[in-house]
Amino acid sequence: MSSKVIVTIFGASGDLAKRKLYPSLFRLYKSGNLSEHFAVIGTARRPWSKEYFESVVVESITDLADSPQQAQEFASHFYYQSHDVNDTEHYIALRDLQNSLDEKYQTEHNKVFFLSMAPQFFGTIAKHLKSEGIVDGQGFERLIVEKPFGTDLETASQLNKELEETFDEEQIFRIDHYLGKEMIQNIFAIRFGNLIFDNLWNRDFIDNIQITFAERLGVEERGGYYDHSGALRDMVQNHTLQLLSLLAMDKPATFTKDAIRAEKIKVFEQLHNPTDDELKKFFIRGQYRSGTIEGKKDISYRSEPNVYPESTTETYASGTFFVDSDRFRGVPFFFRTGKRLTQKGTMVNVVFKQTDSIFGHSLQPNVLTIYIQPNEGFSLSINGKEVGEKFSIAPISFDYETDATATGASPEPYEKLIFDVLNNDSTNYSHWHEVRASWQLIDRIEKLWAENGAPLYEYKSGSMGPTASDDLLAEYGAEWVWKPEPKN
Ligand code: BG6
């Protein structure tokens, strides 16, 4: 059924809106999830006309539309309101526009607000939405908030407090776009739809779990933001810990948002709080230097535009998390994430314990690999007999690639995530309790690093990061399963 709704986007002239939001809304329109009864209000500082805004929208969906008429018909639902977030008058104009569009498109007062701009304005916007009667308790009213949700526990708590003055937790959808990715959502199916994994997914059978978010790119044009953020805030506080929670959670009683959220929150609250010594031992950081990949020279992080020349911001973070639950107590969850690594690859390797060998030599452990991107699929390695008169054992791998990998047709995460908001499904969004618990732990690492309590390792662009990350695993007799060859 198609939704009746007005979507208001704050930050409508921004890159995210053009690259992700308009194409995702268009796909929802094409699939009939949005049809006649919807309108989009775009706001930003620039004084755009409706015509110009429509042309921006049309341009962003040209490749997706069946015909120019279809693109134009879709874009006709878009309205623009230039907006200064601090100016009360502008909210009044916004309210009037919303009311007239509600009448025109018969949207039954349903509203979604998308905050896709500098986070320091989120609180101000939420406050005005209420005080100027844009949020008026009629129809459904939902708020989508882009990351970053704060830069530490204090700022995140402050932001949450401000949002909660206008919206309840149930109405707030904190985006983590990784939760919209196919293979991350597939973790539920793999874990809870298969007896073999359902039964083995615990400390008795799993030796360690490895999470890799490797990026080939550097900071590109985002140096100004990134230099104040670093890999830990940019990738670990949110994406890594969200992924970890899906891997570590207990089986929910039912496949429903409330049951899933309750189990995920438990994991966040059971994250092991390291002692000061553990903190120094468990987490390492690095920063890329120049390097050559496939004959192309990449510059060092400190030479990137808008980066402080003596910056100590980490572009690589790696570490060991533990979850103090009955299921996983003592099992290391290793992670690594970095820019300018050997190649792009996001994956999870679940390394099972070794069985007692009767063959006179040790065996390779079984490994379940979940490929998240750029390939999507999974593989399971098991031991088998090599063909021949002799009895010798070798690992065999069962590989599965989703059709989407072959066709490149995997749905855009934002499309699925906006669809969820229209259906009031926050399963794939971060709850405040999750965000709060993650900052509690991340703040401690940030503090140690800010005080220079741990070395900042250099690594060559095109490598897989500092070797100190290998040492984290060696401590537990493990090694990274994925070791891509550098391409100089
Ligand atoms: C974002 C980070 O959240 O995720 C970026 O801010 C990072 O620094 C990006 O590059 C990676 O996302 P994806 O979907 O391209 O893997």
Nearest CA to ligand 1 atom 5: 234
Nearest-CA neighbor of 433 among 262, 193, 257?
262
Pocket of ligand 1 contains residue 215 by CB under 6 Å: yes
Please report the pLDDT score of residue 118 as a whole number.
84
Q: Which one of 149, 178, 182, 417 would you pick to mutate in the ligand 1 pocket, going by the greatest count of ligand atoms within 8 A of its CB? A: 178
Residue 25 marked in a binding site = no
Please report the pLDDT score of residue 408 as a whole number.
62
Residue 344 marked in a binding site = yes
The DSSP code sequence of 430-472 is B-HHHHHHHHHHHHHHHHHHHTT-S-EEEEETTS-S-THHHHH
Give the CA-trace dihedral at 8, 12, 16, 22, to 10 degrees.
70
Q: Whole-angstrom Cα distance, residue 327 to residue 325?
A: 5
Q: How would you classify the pairing of strands 78-82 and 141-145?
A: unpaired
**Stretches in the chain below the pLDDT threshold 70:** 405-409
Query: Selecting from 3.40.50.300, 3.40.5.90, 2.102.10.10, 3.40.50.720, what CATH number does the domain 5-174 have?
Result: 3.40.50.720
Q: Point out the residues that are catalytic.
A: 239
Please report the pLDDT score of residue 402 as a whole number.
86
Instruction: State the distance from the centre of ligand 1 to the C-alpha of 227, rounded, in angstroms.
Output: 15
Q: Which one of 232, 239, 416 would you pick to mutate in the ligand 1 pocket, going by the greatest count of ligand atoms within 8 A of its CB? A: 239
Domain limits, the chain: 5-174, 182-475
Pocket of ligand 1 contains residue 376 by CB under 6 Å: no
Which residue, chain included where needed, has tokens 């020279």? 297
Q: Whole-angstrom Cα distance, residue 203 to residue 205?
A: 5
Position in ligand 1 atom list of the atom nearest CA 344? 16
357-405 pLDDT, tens digit each: 999 999 999 999 999 999 999 999 999 999 999 999 999 999 999 877 6
33-65 pLDDT, tens digit each: 999 999 999 999 999 999 999 999 999 999 999
Distances (CA, A) of 79 to 28, 54, 345: 18, 8, 39
Which residue, chain included where needed, has tokens 């204090």? 154
CATH 3.30.360.10 fits 182-475, yes or no: yes
Position in ligand 1 atom list of the atom nearest CA 373? 16
Largest alpha-carbon pair distance within the chain? Answer: 85
Position in ligand 1 atom list of the atom nearest CA 339? 10
Residue 483 marked in a binding site = no
Nearest CA to ligand 1 atom 8: 234
Residue 289 marked in a binding site = no
Pocket of ligand 1 contains residue 415 by CB under 6 Å: no
Pocket of ligand 1 contains residue 176 by CB under 6 Å: no
User: Would you say 246 and 446 are in contact if contact means Cβ atoms under 8 Å apart?
Assistant: no
Q: Whole-angstrom Cα distance, residue 376 to residue 396?
A: 20
Instruction: State the distance from the centre of ligand 1 to the C-alpha of 210, rounded, in angstroms.
Output: 19
Q: Whole-angstrom Cα distance, residue 447 to residue 233?
A: 12
Pocket of ligand 1 contains residue 412 by CB under 6 Å: no
Q: Whole-angstrom Cα distance, residue 454 to residue 45?
A: 42
